[in-house]
A and B are shown apart, each in its own frame.
Chain A
Amino acid sequence: MNRIWFYVIVCLQALFLILMSMSYYTMDTWGESIRLKTAPVDPRDPFYGDYVTLSYEVELVPSEKWNISADIGSREKVYLLLEPGENDLYTLVQASAEKPDVSGAEVVLPARFDWHDSQREVYTVDIGMDRYFIEEGTGQQYEQNREDLIVEVIVAPWGQKKINSVTTSE
């Protein structure tokens, strides 16, 4: 067994894991901070153990903003184009299957397609940030205001994102 190559491969594996973790910490420097409004959560009880379940307004895409063909499969990747609106809250411009070009203050958020509600004409997507881990005993405060929380999300240029803080809107 070639020892040099062996250690190269081992180091690459360690490096891969380190980069995964580093990218999270460097997001604060390189990423863009956006504020998102939450939406009512289904199931009814959003507070589970040590995290709150969150759902976002931008995850509900009305059909006029849905620029994707109808045959999209569940869990397929879609891109949400967001722009800052009132109170610095980001709102949805459109959802597309290809990564859209960004201009000005717009931000692209990758998401996964969940399902299509044909009665309400709404496409539900998942931006993959449905859990926010909290300190024990503070769940009450989130639960009471769960339908209008403001979530500050940091989006890195390489598509990664994390929840920075969750605050009640007023």
Chain B
Amino acid sequence: MKRETLIKESKEWVEERIISEEQREQLLERYPARQHKPLLLTFAAIFIGLGFLTFIASNWSAISDIFRMAIIIGSLLAFYVAGEKIYRKHSKRLGESLMLIALMIFGAGIFLTGQMYHFTSFSALPFFIWSIAAFSLYLLCKETLFFIAAAILTTVGQVYSGVTFGEFHIWTGLLFIVGLGWFTARGQRTDYSVWFGAGYLVQSLVFVLSSGYPYYWLINLILFLYLFDDAAAGKGQLRVLKTFSVISVFLILVFQVFFLGEGFVEVQTDSSFYFFIVWAVFFVGAVVRSAMSSTNYYWIDLLLFLPVFRFDFADGLSLGLLFVYSLLWLVSGYQQSVARWVNKGTAALLATTFIAYFQLAWDFMSRSLFFFIGGILLFALSFFLERKRRQVSKGEVTP
């Protein structure tokens, strides 16, 4: 039943003494006003902002510097003031959209002013300042829109810093981790976790690639995200960050299968020494955490975080880990009849088999035979696993 209808009808019920006012309120609480996503308005805001920008941009060279500044600052103030007024008095959604435009004008303003007056930037500082503005707006009104804006701006700024200057911008990184991380942990909301997790992974990649650390530092960074999930996910919610980190570390192992083959010699450096210290601390934390967890199976995830790259046959070991991981989830899924685990194990096993096959057979089979046999192999495997999976979903467990 629609809330609007219920409000109208229930008023009559109270008047006719069918229910009391208190009962009416209780009933209405069961039908909360639906929260419309501000998607359309956000797009409207973005389009108007873009239209404004392109118009100014196409006439930009004809305008004098002072007048350009007046346009930028005038429109910045106009959109902020209008946004705040509308946010407070009329519509939160429209208000925050206007403030988002103002935030975009601020960012564009930094770059335009910089270009106009020949500023040379030596770091991602412009993005950092822009991100601070976005984050302050989030602090003030706690709207998801500005959380997302801050997450995107810090991440884009970090990528810009990595690509253009080959360095990790430490302040932007801190703002992201401390500022947005804090609210991800406090908010315990799925959407915050998604944005935070995606930004975290991208920034980790920039950090490792641009700071000259070996790629395997990613394992520590991802392990941290895995642990952080306990703080960030509320009870009974999707374990977004855990899923993100498991998928990422899975990909790292796949990377190792392909690239840690013959001739790869890992040089022992200071960095790898520190890596193991940090890793040990995180890993012990993760083991303790999984020992305390109510389900005794989460240690399976931790297998993926084992640093096997130290060994000579790291590619084989990585592949082995992937297989063990997949099979363990499959078997525990069947034993405990948890369909989710079986699905996870199935997907992982299919991927791993495919990778193993690719790695082992690519070199000494003709291409058509390779794909042909591979196809049949995957088909047979998926047929077998799918049958098993259905048994579990239906509850007929025959492990």
Contacts and interface: CB of A to CB of B under 8 A. Distances in A.
**Do A and B come from the same complex?**
yes
Interface of A: 1-3, 5-7, 9-10, 13-14, 16-18, 20-21, 23-24, 50, 73-77, 110, 112, 127-129, 160-163
A9 B69 contact: no
B239 to A, nearest CB: 32
B176 interface: no
Contacts of B76: 10, 13-14, 17
Interface residue tally on B, bucketed by range: 20 to 34
Majority SS at the chain B contact face: helix
Contact of B120 (A2, A73, A76, A112): A112
Interface stretch (B110-118, B147-155, B294-302): B110-118
B120 A75 contact: no
Given A10-B80, A21-B69, A160 B140 contact: no
Contacts of B84: 1, 3, 6-7
A9 B137 contact: yes
Contacts of B81: 10
Interface of B: 61, 65, 69, 72-73, 76-77, 80-81, 84, 87-88, 102, 106, 109-110, 113-114, 116-120, 122, 129, 133, 136-137, 140-141, 164-167
8 contacts: A3-B88, A5-B140, A13-B106, A17-B72, A17-B76, A21-B65, A21-B69, A162-B117
A75 B164 contact: yes
Contacts of A74: 166
A50 B218 CA distance: 47
Given A14-B73, A20-B114, A21-B65, A110 B120 contact: yes
Nearest to A1: B141
A1 to B, nearest CB: 4
Nearest to A18: B73
A126 B166 CA distance: 16
A162 B118 contact: yes
A74 B210 CA distance: 12
B91 to A, nearest CB: 14
Between A7, A9, A23, A74, the greatest number of chain B beta carbons within 10 A of the residue's beta carbon is seen for A9
Contacts of A76: 165-167
Nearest to B107: A13
B168 to A, nearest CB: 12
Contacts of B77: 10, 14
Contacts of A128: 118, 120
Contacts of A6: 80, 84, 140
A24 B73 contact: no
B120 A17 contact: no
A95 B392 CA distance: 70
Nearest to A71: B212
Given A7-B84, A21-B117, A75-B165, 5 more contacts: A2-B140, A17-B109, A17-B113, A20-B114, A21-B65
A77 B102 CA distance: 32
B70 to A, nearest CB: 10
B110 A20 contact: yes
A3 to B, nearest CB: 7
Contacts of A75: 164-166
Nearest to A73: B166
Contacts of A17: 69, 72-73, 76, 106, 109-110, 113
Contacts of B72: 17
A52 to B, nearest CB: 14
